[in-house]
Amino acid sequence: MTRKAIAKSGLQHMITQPVPTLALRSDSEREIRSTVDWSETAVYGEHIWFETNVSGDFCYVGEQNCVAKMLQKPLSKRKCAACKIVVHTPCIEQLEKINFRCKPSFREYGSRNVREPTIVRHHWVHRRRQEGKCRQCGKGFQQKFAFHSKEIVAISCSWCKQAYHSKVSCFMLQHIEEPCSLGAHAAVVIPPTWILRVRHPQNPLKSSKKKKRTSFKRKSSKKGPEEGRWKPFVIKPIPAPLMKPLLVFVNPKSGGNQGTKIIQSFMWYLNPRQVFDLSQGGPKEGLEMYRKVHNLRILACGGDGTVGWILSILDHLRLNPPPPVAILPLGTGNDLARTLNWGGGYTDEPLSKILSHVEEGEIVQLDRWNLQVEPNLEANLEEKDETSTDKLPLDVFNNYFSLGFDARVTLEFHESREANPEKFNSRFRNKMFYAGTAFSDFLMGSSKDLAKHIRVVCDGTDLTPKIQDLKPQCLVFLNIPRYCAGTMPWGNPGEHHDFEPQRHDDGCLEVIGFTMTSLAALQVGGHGERLHQCREVLLTTSKAIPMQVDGEPCKLGASCIRICLRNQANMVQKTKRRNSMPLLNDSQQPIPERLRIRVSRIGMHDYEALHYDKEKLKEASVPLGIIVVPGDSDLEMCRTHIERLQEDFSPCPSTIQSLFPQEGDGAKPKTLSCQKLSPKWCFLDSTTADRFYRIDRAQEHLNYVTEISQDELFVLDPELVLTQTVGTSPAMPDLVDVPTTPTRQHLDLPASPPSTPVSSSEAGSCHPIKDDALIDAAKNNDFHKFKELHRSGEDLMMVRDHTGQTVLHHAVKSGSKEIVKYIIENAPAEILDVAEEENGETSLHQAAALRQRTICHYIVEAGASLMKTDLQGDTPKHRAEKANDPDLAAYLENRQHYQMIQREDQETAV
């Protein structure tokens, strides 16, 4: 037999591995599953299908068995989360013909199986597209016309991710049956050999006897409630000192509904039976099943409420020791995640890197606090509120317990989301609603008399007189440093000498009072009134008051509440990876004493279009300058240098070539950007993964500059504007990036070829479009048509009428709140401050003049400037005053004041 024939035979054997006949179902019973089957009838090697819109990739069953090929028409496709094959939906049954199963996530229980070596075999899959390099020859995978090629270029294992060229010289026969290492994340993967399916006895007599014995055990045993209950799956772990097996719990409803995609990704990296969808029954079943696994760790993917849910179940199950919990933040606030260095929200960091952080993270303790509630029998019964309740939504908290203004806002948000969940499907929209509700409550002043109806005693000290003098509108009992989406209400460490440093594991609560002014100042670095640090609190209320426990709100009737320490939970804290020091970029050269690094900026348009193509994205970047930092600098230090560079560095054209020499023949030098970075810029990691990804600002202190860059450091600026549009008002100079005055020169980037999308850094000037259909839809308050036009390709930023008014101007004038919110969510932030030519008015000027309070609030909270003046010298506040709306004017003045404070703080920091 020739080598080619041997190889063909081997590859055929690879995809026709025998499947236990007991595990198969008939075609009539088969269903397309998108979840893991934990029942007795679970199929060995069953795929987990999700709908996909992937185009161009050929159906895995091949042309001979493909239903779509036979019918000569397009059909819907599905992708397996565990092995990543793609097939047409009707072709799923055709996989039986080629006998291709998914990677097995369990093994059958039996005397022979138990004695077999507990090793995992590779699960080989043919690939038409493959990243990386061949493990045998070290060469990349040539992918000509990758989206249309029928040729199989690689064979890879869906467990360890090893890949080989699909040819005899690279993929040898011995690879087929060799044991699999489970890859780079083997320490956290739960091997399928640990998970055994126990089949129900078929003999009715034995079955009845077993039932009797089981019933007796259930009555007589005092172990756990689940000990006597029969289950189809059992876990038989084999402890290993270096293993840290991981359970992943994902709440798909948290934040912006990112959970579904994350579940699919984790099923690819891990065993699908260690990934749980919390909408399918909660965390209890999974935690019970894996309770005996040594060194177990948990990853909670969701908001702080999801973390609290899991910690409460761990309390109930009394696992000893309780497994430590790491966090992948998907919620809106994510204050506990920020405290433990997991960041303020998941963006696009590769999940493989997150798995590494969970494995390497440090175990720390988190105080947890009991809330014991009793009715206040001395309160005036005549003032009883019919909408109030007599108990709190939770009897324990991890982050904070608060009452007053913030709880009232959260309660209104909670009630609205319960009534219309489809309207709260993104973090941005959730925050916009929070802000709008806070604005309404601010105008009504509904929490002004809070101090008159509460009594607070901390460790025997009565704080009531102090609270009555302060007249707070909100009172917070804080366990962690973060609150209200990342603010620090206790203040920065070292600011307060009358108290001990704040910790989440010291058995103490911080008691803080807020007036409306100090609440507003939180967003610009302010803090509340520090009242006390204590170990026990007695809170008495004399009427129904809105309260919240870790974001779960209610309106609690007059009560006596005792707060005391419950226990300490084990948590995983993300740590700085010291193993990257002292070598530079995996080379053998030590990091020098100082580093000279080029800094380049990338706009959001380029990032979203090109972040999977590193070279094109680098070409689209715009140089900012050069910083010189110590060799062991983290990103926090680099941020300081970059912001100082923005103030100090103003190069002349002759210095551009020396700072950024261009390599290669015929290459044109890039334009050195003169536009300042916006406050929302962040660092990009350009080296760790096969694509660029964002670094959360809350995690900058955990990353060395040498970890995320080589010879050039890239930053993402979501508000980058690179061209000046015709018709822009002279009052708007901050929209210009490249100077156009005769005294300054600039050099353009090379033009893109026709086949390459034009990036924002390569685009030329764009003339405004007059009387556009998009403007007509905004004028006529036709939200449906407006959205359709935008989705068909209309540019929200570039469209102007003959007076230079944007679509936002016209949406404001028509009073369309829906269109205004849609524009804010989908247009570049610069549209907020664009002024029309006739009067120099921004959209905020017009909204204030028309006394549109809600629209004003949307625009302000989205980041519009309150200090811009029209051609008459009026700010939006002045326009509200002229419109005889003193409340709106007071609100705009308040926000204008804090914008000024924020600007001063930024200038001071630089």
Among 516, 545, 567, the domain boundary falls at: 567
Task: In whole angstroms, give the CA distance from residue 641 to residue 629.
Answer: 8
Query: Is there a domain that residue 768 lies in?
Result: no
Strands (E), 261-376: 275-277, 297-302, 325-329, 362-375
Task: In whole angstroms, give the CA distance from residue 367 to residue 567.
Answer: 6
Neighbouring residues of 312: CB distance < 8 A, sequence distance ≥ 6: 394, 396
What is the pLDDT confidence band of residue 873, given thresholds at 50, 70 and 90?
A: confident
Q: State whether 424 and 295 are in the same domain.
A: no
Q: State whether 308 and 393 are in the same domain.
A: no
Task: In whole angstroms, give the CA distance from residue 597 to residue 704.
Answer: 13
Res 903 pLDDT > 60: no
pLDDT-wise least confident of 220-229, 297-306, 579-588: 220-229
Query: Is there a domain that residue 63 lies in?
Result: yes
Phi and psi of 397, rounded to 5°? -135, 150
Beta bridge partners of 704: 634
Q: What is the pLDDT of residue 228?
A: 35
SS3 247: strand
Q: State whether 491 and 376 are in the same domain.
A: yes
* Distances 29 to 39, 46, 107, 232, 813 between C-alpha atoms, Å: 14, 13, 22, 19, 59
Indicate left, alpha or beta for 91 from its phi (over 0: left) and psi (-120 to 50: alpha). alpha
Q: What is the pLDDT of residue 415?
A: 66
Task: In whole angstroms, give the CA distance from residue 867 to residue 103.
Answer: 60
Q: What is the pLDDT of residue 748?
A: 32
CATH number at residue 715: 3.10.20.90
Looking at per-residue pLDDT, the higher value among 592 and 383 belongs to 592
Query: Is there a domain that residue 501 lies in?
Result: yes
Asked if 35 contacts 16 with a C-beta cutoff of 8 angstroms, the reply is no
Q: State whether 120 and 202 are in the same domain.
A: no
pLDDT-wise least confident of 4-8, 825-829, 830-834, 840-844: 4-8
Q: State whether 550 and 587 are in the same domain.
A: no
Query: Is there a domain that residue 760 lies in?
Result: no
For the residues 480-506, what does the mean pLDDT come to? Answer: 82
Among 360, 393, 409, the domain boundary falls at: 360
Domain count, the chain: 5
**Amino acid at position 344, single letter:** G
Task: In whole angstroms, give the CA distance from residue 832 to residue 860.
Answer: 9
Mean pLDDT (the chain) is: 78
Asked if 428 contacts 413 with a C-beta cutoff of 8 angstroms, the reply is no
DSSP strand pairing (195-197 vs 107-108) = parallel
Q: State whether 384 and 343 are in the same domain.
A: no
Q: State whether 545 and 655 are in the same domain.
A: no
Task: In whole angstroms, give the CA distance from residue 327 to residue 350.
Answer: 15
The DSSP result for 600-623, as a single string, is: EEEEHHHHHHHTT-HHHHHHH-EE
The total of other beta-carbon atoms located within 10 Å of residue 285's CB is: 15
Q: State whether 784 and 882 are in the same domain.
A: yes
Neighbouring residues of 286: CB distance < 8 A, sequence distance ≥ 6: 247, 249, 276
The total of other beta-carbon atoms located within 10 Å of residue 529's CB is: 17
Q: State whether 352 and 378 are in the same domain.
A: no
Angle between helices 783-791 and 817-826 (to 10 degrees): 20
Q: pTM for the complete prediction?
A: 0.72
* Distances 619 to 601, 651, 721, 890 between C-alpha atoms, Å: 11, 21, 17, 48
Query: Is there a domain that residue 763 lies in?
Result: no
* Distances 418 to 122, 340, 406, 415 between C-alpha atoms, Å: 46, 30, 18, 5
Phi and psi of 541, rounded to 5°? -115, 145
DSSP strand pairing (77-80 vs 86-88) = antiparallel
CATH number at residue 488: 2.60.200
Q: What is the pLDDT of residues 620-658, one digit of tens each?
A: 898 988 999 988 889 999 999 998 887 755 544 444 444
Q: State whether 560 and 605 are in the same domain.
A: no
Q: State whether 408 and 508 are in the same domain.
A: yes
What are the tokens at 99? 């006998």
Among 567, 591, 620, the domain boundary falls at: 567
CATH number at residue 875: 1.25.40.20
Query: Is there a domain that residue 211 lies in?
Result: no
What are the tokens at 328? 């992948």
Could you tell me the end-to-end alpha-carbon distance of the chain, in angstroms, rounded to an integer? Answer: 74
Asked if 10 contacts 177 with a C-beta cutoff of 8 angstroms, the reply is no
Q: What is the pLDDT of residues 878-894, one digit of tens each?
A: 999 899 988 788 788 77
* Max Cα distance, the chain (Å): 98
Query: Is there a domain that residue 765 lies in?
Result: no
Q: State whether 348 and 381 are in the same domain.
A: no
Q: What is the pLDDT of residue 442?
A: 52
Query: Is there a domain that residue 689 lies in?
Result: yes
324-338, 377-391, 787-801: range with highest mean pLDDT: 324-338
Residue with tokens 């010298």: 873
Task: In whole angstroms, give the CA distance from residue 795 to residue 809.
Answer: 15
Q: Residue 260: which domain range?
A: 197-206+227-360
Asked if 625 contacts 650 with a C-beta cutoff of 8 angstroms, the reply is no
What is the pLDDT confidence band of residue 361, given thresholds at 50, 70 and 90?
A: very high
